[in-house]
Amino acid sequence: MFPSGPAPDPAGSRAEHRIRSFHARRGRVTHAQAAAIGRHWARWGVELDGTPLDLPALFGSPDMPVVVEIGFGMGDATARMAAADPSTGILAVDVHTPGQGNLLALADSLGLTNVRVANGDAIVLLRDMLPPASLSGLRVYFPDPWPKAKHHKRRLIQPSFLALVTPLLRPGAVVHCATDWEPYADQMLDVLTEAPGLVNRHEGFAPRPDFRPMTKFERQGLAKGHVVRDLLFTRV
């Protein structure tokens, strides 16, 4: 679909038989999104193919702290956070092609130099591509709640996931999760609380932080009466 853009299956032979917490989605790409991919993917795009990443080289700075954001949707909140904090690099991971194109377009229009858009399975990134203590944070906002009990094993925030994440975090790095599905929020709180090396910055759930922008998805959830929960944990 995009000869010089995000690949349908960047991990290729590294694909393994495991429970997936996401569905790869191409979706309908607008002309503007396709144009942004064509213009910027070679410079700002990252294929999660298992090849180790050099984060200082990727962001063009030996000292820039880098956070990974998993599941950025259309990228509006990601772009706003990047603009508000240009000294922090954001490696934003998703498999939704329209969202990838939209975030690239936003980065271009806002003149952002601290955003890189990663395509593929975040597990491949965390397991194979990053060195220990290389990240200053992890953001997981409104992941798929997989509400049916038989699908709970597909939820991203699990002990096995945090076992991959925690060694990649520098001391003081922040894990920030948010969800509008209360049963998942309770599970997140339990799993994060029990994770070795992470300490809750609050008693239970965190107050909604000002630095996380309100998204269209979040406003829709609130309109339906959902309760949004934030969780902030620090790597010790």
The amino acid present at 196, given as its one-letter code, is: P
Between CA 205 and CA 231 the distance in angstroms is 5
Rg from Cα positions in the chain: 17
Q: Identify any residues that bridge with 124 across adjacent strands, giving them in sequence order.
A: none
- Kindly list the catalytic residues: 144
Q: Is 185 left (phi over 0), alpha (psi -120 to 50) or beta?
A: alpha
| List of long-range contacts for 20-23, beta carbons under 8 Å, 24+ apart | 20/121, 20/154, 21/143, 21/144, 21/146, 21/154, 21/155, 21/156, 22/71, 22/95, 22/121, 22/144, 22/156, 23/95
Q: Which contiguous run of DSSP H or E holds residue 45?
A: strand 45-47
**CA-CA distance, 95 to 9, in Å (whole number)?**
10
